[in-house]
C-alpha cells in the first residue's frame, strides 16, 4: 500500500461515525444492498446490520467495494439485532407510516442511532415496529406512499449527516484504533487478508507509511500456502 493510499484511508476513517448504524431487515435485492452500502459509506455510517433468516451473502463487487470499508454485522433474526442496539443504548428508528410516526427530519440524529429499513415489499416486521423507539416517515405529496428503500435510506442518512456536521461530530476521529487497523489491513492488503483467514492468523499492524509490521514467523506462515511455498511475498 502506498503512503498516498494510506493517507486517503486514514482521512476516511477519521470521519466515520461508529454510533450511527443502518439495519436491513430481510432486504435481499442486490441493487438495493449495493445502493445502501454506498449510502452508508458516503455519510460515514460505519456499522451495517443485516437480518437474514436464511443463508445469504453479499456478492463480491455488488457495491463497488463499499463493503470493504464498512463493518458488517449479520443477524439470524430481528431479536438479536434489536438486542445489539439496546445494549449500546441506541435509539431505534423504523421507517413506517403509523399513528405515532414523525417526520424523519424531526429526529435528533446526534444521539447513538440505529435506522432500520424493512423488506422491499412488506416493510418492517411487527417485531421491529414494536421494538422501535420511534417510527419515521418521509413526507409524500404524490400518489405513491413510499420510496425505494435505498432512496429512503439516502434521505434519512443525509439528514443525519447534516445534523452531525452542525454538531461537530465529524471534526475529530471517533473510530477506535483497533477498528482502524482492521480496515487499513483489509482495504490495503486484500490478498493477505484472505490468507490470514485461511491460516487463522491475526492481522499485523499497519504503520504510518502504510507498510506491514510483522514478525519473521508471520511472514513465514504467509509464504506457506497449503503446503506450498509462496515466494512472491516480500518481508517489510
Confidence at 119, pLDDT banded by 50, 70, 90: confident
147 annotated ligand binder = yes
C-alpha cell at 126: 411487527
125 annotated ligand binder = no
User: CATH 3.40.1280.10: which residues of the chain?
Assistant: 17-166
Query: Is the pLDDT higher at 171 or at 225?
Result: 171
115 annotated ligand binder = no
**Domain 17-166 in this protein, CATH class:** alpha beta
Q: Chain-wide mean pLDDT for the chain?
A: 87
Does residue 230 surpass a pLDDT of 60?
no
Nearest Cα neighbor of 118 from 75, 153, 91, 67 is 153
pLDDT tens, residue by residue, 80-91: 999 999 999 999
CA angle 164, 182, 42 (to 5 degrees): 35
Report the C-alpha gap between 149 and 165 in whole angstroms.
Answer: 24
Confidence at 124, pLDDT banded by 50, 70, 90: confident
Does residue 115 surpass a pLDDT of 60?
yes
Distance set, CA 174 to CA 2, 21, 52, 69, 71 (Å)? 24, 14, 29, 15, 14
Does residue 34 surpass a pLDDT of 80?
yes
Amino acid at each position: 500500500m502506498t503512503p498516498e493510499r494510506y493517507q486517503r484511508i486514514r482521512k476516511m476513517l477519521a470521519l466515520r461515525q461508529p454510533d450511527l448504524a443502518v439495519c436491513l431487515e430481510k432486504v435481499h435485492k442486490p441493487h438495493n444492498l449495493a445502493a445502501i452500502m454506498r449510502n452508508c459509506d458516503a455519510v460515514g455510517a460505519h456499522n451495517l446490520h443485516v437480518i437474514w433468516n436464511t443463508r445469504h451473502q453479499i456478492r463480491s463487487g455488488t457495491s463497488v467495494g463499499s463493503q470493504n470499508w464498512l463493518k458488517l454485522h449479520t443477524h439470524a433474526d430481528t431479536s438479536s439485532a434489536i438486542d445489539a442496539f439496546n445494549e449500546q443504548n441506541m435509539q431505534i428508528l423504523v421507517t413506517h407510516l403509523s399513528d405515532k410516526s414523525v417526520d424523519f427530519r424531526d429526529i435528533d440524529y446526534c444521539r447513538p442511532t440505529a435506522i432500520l429499513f424493512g423488506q422491499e415489499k412488506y416493510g418492517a416486521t411487527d417485531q421491529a415496529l414494536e421494538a422501535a423507539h420511534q417510527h419515521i416517515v418521509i413526507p409524500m405529496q404524490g400518489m405513491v406512499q413510499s420510496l425505494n428503500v435505498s432512496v429512503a435510506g439516502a434521505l434519512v442518512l443525509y439528514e443525519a449527516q447534516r445534523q452531525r456536521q452542525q454538531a461537530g461530530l465529524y471534526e475529530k476521529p471517533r473510530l477506535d484504533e483497533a477498528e482502524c487497523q482492521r480496515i487499513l489491513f483489509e482495504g490495503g492488503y486484500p490478498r493477505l487478508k484472505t490468507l490470514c483467514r485461511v491460516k487463522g492468523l491475526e492481522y499485523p499492524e499497519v504503520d504510518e507509511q502504510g507498510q506491514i509490521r510483522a514478525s519473521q514467523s508471520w511472514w513465514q506462515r504467509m509464504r506457506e500456502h497449503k503446503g506450498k511455498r509462496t515466494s512472491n511475498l516480500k518481508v517489510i
